[in-house]
Structures are given as structure tokens and as C-alpha cells.
Amino acid sequence: MKIALVGNPNVGKSTVFNALTGSNQQVGNWAGKTVERKAGTIHRDNLEIELVDLPGTYSLTAYTQEEIVTRQYILREKPDVVMAMVDASNIERNLYLVLQILELAPRVVIGLNMMDLAKSSGISLNAAELTKALNVSVVEIVAAKGVGIDKFLAEAVRVGLLKKDPLVRQVPYPSELEEKIQAMENLLKDISWASQYPLRWLALKRLERDPEIGQEWQSVSAPESSKDKKRETCCDSGDALNYKLKNIIELPGNDLLQSYEEEGWTKDHFEMAFADAKYNYISQILPRFLIQEDLRKPSLTDSLDRWILSPIWGYPVMILVLALVFWASFIASAPLGEAVSQGMAWAADFLVSLLQWIQAPAFLTSLVRDGIFAGVGAVLAFVPQIAIFFAFFSFLQDSGYLARAAFLGDRLMQLMGLHGKSFFSLVSSFGCNVPGIMATRTLEDPKDRLITMLLNPLIPCVPRLGVMSAVVAAFFPGTRGAMIMLSLLLISMLLVMISALFMRKVVDQKERSAFVMELPLYHLPTLRNVLWPTWHKTYTFLKRAWTFILAASIVVWLLSSFPQGVPMNSTWAGKMGEWLEFIGKPLGFDWKIMVAIIFGFTAKETTLSTLGILYGVAADASQSIAQAMTGAMSPLRAYTFLVVYMLYIPCLASVVTTYKESGSLRWTAFGIAYNLILSFIIGWIIFHGGQAMGFQ
């Protein structure tokens, strides 16, 4: 059985999906789209169920990728049943999507979620009356507490196994509209393949001149005979819905549409008329199942938003929240990071002792101690920082606060010519640039999405911040270190703002799209909803530690150890550094720094592991690696290194993600070149400016 999970954003779909599928889920991208695809397997009553969590969307038009993916899945894959999630505290707008779903799929089960929040807001709902009004099964659930989820699935299975489709209530359009819909249906019903799909829906979309139905095929100039042959061949294929729908433009109906336009019925008129009819229908049936109590006391959400969304207090609150996240990520996690470092050092000593006991070759002992553990061990000390950051981020996202932060950030984003949702993406990048780049999927405008992608690498991620904090602690101890870290973050923010204005010109963004975002009710996230995404993202980082970083550490060890018996600057790594030294010399960098910067491209964490190997520090606390640099660099050179390291080319994973999300090799290459050039220009200015002012 195939079940689709559909609903507006922030209605609790992820909570239900995670509760039902657990670890039996796969996450990827929809083919040809930058929208995330989540699918999971469930075993119930001798059935193997594939549950697909479709992107959160407010409607099924064709304006965003989320809308297109959702409706194409329902049309192409024809799921046995659709589980429609509805926010009980905001049911009127949520039912608009449900009515659109019912035009595509007759087998639908509604899950009335957040019943507890609705009750606290003075909303009483009668699920039985809603069932009668739409002739659709309705189940009351409180997903955050695990209430009703199994019943929701059981009802979906029951409906999916029905021998006949239930007769759902159709939206009663005004008579003038019904005449036009019927006329279009009559023109389409003679098409051989049209009966496979909802004819009424096809007629509605044809009247709306839906951009996904044929507009791109108007320029097809093949002879009619070849078109007919191609259509006949194509339309026998189960994977040919796109071609079928796009060829509606060539079917009878152009004359009819022309006559409607002469009457004043344009594309926008039809869209608005259909939307008005749906909302009128909802307002008619709403009193049958909803009672809104008159609460004199404001709700918890209203009370909190008076402060959190205030133009005066909202920004200080946001700064305090972000400060708490960074404090917990970097300060509170320090003992855990130290424990990991000590554990890795103990493991290295144990393995080295074991290898020496069995009289293993010296190069193997060196590989384990000076290569693998010196490299990977230094990086694993960041795992507590990353895990804590992602846990806080998941909590803030699921609680409803991040939507408010994006709302507040929209004012700042406007100054940069960006969309408010870009703020959400840029904040995500403090954890890791990869999810930050992927978070641009929430931006509807492709140009907004591209600009935000190109800006993301200018935000220092947790691994970069970890390396930076280690170097800062060695060169600028005490209060000076805090001021230095603050100055680095301010440089990053300033360059993001300047680069945003520059990118607008390069990408040729002339108009900024409107900012529309739902502000969900506040609620306490479940432990599962916080821990599951935290584990998934941390596990992804750990996989990188044992793939990219392990491989890079071994390569660096090989380059710095051979030929054997020669000074470090005569090894292969030393020779590579000599070739690169002319680039770093104007910034005061020696060859070791340049080699570390180059290897940092594989993963930013490898910069620290590379320095650990090149400076001869065995698996130990990252602080020791930074201290080993103090003998080779002055404070001014160290600060220049920190700036260049913070800004230069993003890691390999970020580059690959940028290419996948943008689909453009040209823009990906532009982003790499921009970061590389910008970092060295700013580094040169700081180094020579510092020397001119007498700093060393």
C-alpha cells in the first residue's frame, strides 16, 4: 500500500512521519527538484506500507516546487490513500488545501492535529460533523504527545482497502462558473487518456491556464502527424503524465478560452473565482463543526509575540537566544570536547603500545599516531559542539521561534536586497553550510535562492568556528580572545551584507519577492523531534570524519612523511608548500599554513588535523595544535590566517551541495572563485594595514 502524507507547513507532518516510520526512512531529493523527498516503510496487519511525506504546501497551484511536487506525486503515483494533516487551531485555511486534494484523490483521511492547542485557544471542533460535511474520515490527534497517530494510520489503511472510491462532497461553484467548467469538461472527455485522471480537475486547470499544463509546448513545430504519433506512443506510458498534461494546450479549447477572455474571464479571474468559491464553501460548512469561544484572556502565543515580535524588544530577545545557542555550543560543550580528545589520545596510546608490542613496522605506528589519530582525533573533538548546536536549532525550529526570527530578520534582509527566509538559511549555516544551503529551498524565487546559496559560505560553520576558537585561544588568551572572535564574526556579517548587494547586480535580481510566512503557535517540541534530526545531522558529520577526513589525514601523513629520513620541508608536503608559498608570502603565511589551507577544501576540519600532522602534534587536545603554531606565527599573521580561513573557498561537501541545489556548474565555479579572491584580498588588506599601524 502507498500512502501520501500531505499538509500545510508546521502542521506536525514530520512528527507523525517520524513516529510511524522510525529509522525505516530514506531522505533525498525529488528527481530534477531541490525539494527534499522523505519516504519510509511501515509494516501493519500483513501489509507493507510506503509512507511518503510530501513537502509542506498551502495549495496545489504551480507557483512553487513544493506545490508542483505534491500534486504531481498524487497524479502520477496514485497513492492508495492521502493522509491530510490539518492544524485544528487554524482549520479554515488548512481546509482550502484539503478541498484541492479532494479534487485529485477521492480516498482521503483527515488528521485533526493540535487539538490541545485549539482547545486552549477557545476552539471546539466536532470531528463527526466535519466527516458528514465532507464525507471524509476524520481522526483527532495530538501528534506531539503521540495521541491518535496509530488510529490515524489504521483509518488510512481501512480507506485504502475499500473496494470502491467514496463519494466525497464537491465544491459547489456558482452557476456561471459551473457552466464554463462543464463546457471545458465536454471538450476534454473525448480525449482517450483523459479518463485516467480527474476530468473536473483538468477542466479547472485548463481554465486557469495552469503553467504546468502545456504552456511550454506552445512552440512545438513538429508536423501534426508526428505529434499525433508521439502523443499516442507517449500516452501509453505510465510515466508520461507530464507530456499528457502539457499537450492540453493543443487540444480543443483555445476557441472557448478566447471567447471567455472576450467576456473578461482572464487567467487571474478564474483563479480568484475558484479560490473564492472554495473559501465561501468552507465558511458555509464551518458553523456545523466549529465553535469559537470568546476568550477574554489572550493566548500564550499572543502574550509571547507581544515581546518576541516587538520592533523594540524582539531584536534583543533574538540576540539573547542566539547567544545562548553559541554559548552552549562552544563554552558548555568544552568539557565534552576535552573528554573526546582525551579518549582519542588514550586510544592512540593503547594502539601504539599494542603495535610496538607486536613489533609492527615504525611507519605503521607513525601512521596510526601521527596520521589517523592526530587528524581524525582533533576533528572528533568538535562533535559535542555540532550536536549541541543542532539540538538547539531543532528545538527552536519545532517550537515555532525560528519562524519569528525569520520575520524579524526580514527587515535586515531587506537592506541587503534579500528575502526574509534567507535569514533562516544563513542562521542554519552557523551549524554547517550544507544544511544552510539546502535551507534555501524555502525560497520561492530562484534568484533569491541562488544569491543566498552564494552567500552561505561566508558564514563560519561550527567546524570553522572550532578551529578559529582554538587558534584564538593560543594567540589571544583571556578577554582579548573574546574580542577577537567578535571582530571576526563582525567582518563576516559585514562582508555578507556587502556581498549581497554585489550579488544582486551579478545575478540581475531586479525585484524582491514578497515575504509571506506562517507564524505557527508556540508549543513544546517532543524529545524525539529534537533528538532525531540532531542524530541524523551529527551522524552525517561523523561519516565525513571517517571518510573525507580520515582519507585526507592519511594523505597528509604520506606527503609529510616521505621521502623518509629527510627534513619536513624536503618531504612531498614541503615541496607542495614551496610551490604555494609565493601565494601566501604576501599575507605572511609559511608553507605549512598554505598546505593546511589547501587540504581544508576537502573539509574545513582537516585544516586543524593537517596542522596537527605538519607541526608534529600527536593525538591530543586541539589547543596543543594551536599552541604549536605560536612559535611560527606572530599575532598579526595569526589574525590574517583566521580571516582568510573564515572566508576562503567552502568545503567540498558545500561545493557539491551548491551544484546540486543550483544545477549550475557556472554559478558553483563563480562562488568558489569569489570566496577565494575575496578572502585573499581582505587578508592582504588586514596584514599590510596592520603592519602600517605597527602591529607584528
Q: Binding site residues for GTP, as ranges?
A: 7-14, 32-36, 53-56, 113-116, 142-144
Cell of 652: 567540498
3-state secondary structure of 374: helix
Residue 43 dihedral angles phi and psi, to the nearest 5°:
-115, 115
d(CA 485, CA 460): 11
Contact in structure between 53 and 13 (CB atoms under 8 Å)? yes
Residue type, 659: Y
DSSP state of 367: I
Element (H, E) at 48: strand 47-53
> Which residues belong to the annotated binding site for Mg(2+)?
18-19, 21-22
Q: Which residues are annotated as a binding site?
A: 7-14, 18-19, 21-22, 32-36, 53-56, 113-116, 142-144
| Helix residue ranges, H only, 508-605 | 527-544, 550-561, 572-584, 591-599
Q: Strands 137-140 and 81-87, how do they pair?
A: unpaired
Contacts of 128 (CB under 8 A, 6+ apart): 138, 289
Distance CA 666, CA 670 (A): 6
Q: What is the DSSP letter of 214?
A: S
Q: What 3-state class would DSSP assign to 455?
A: helix
SS3 169: coil
Q: Which secondary structure element, helix H or strand E, spans residue 446, and what is its range?
A: helix 446-455
Q: How far apart are CA 462 and CA 459, in angstroms?
A: 10
Picking from 108, 112, 47, 55, the residue whose alpha carbon sits closest to that of residue 79 is 108
CA 558 to mean position of chain CA atoms: 37
What's phi and psi for 142, nearest 5 deg? -130, 90
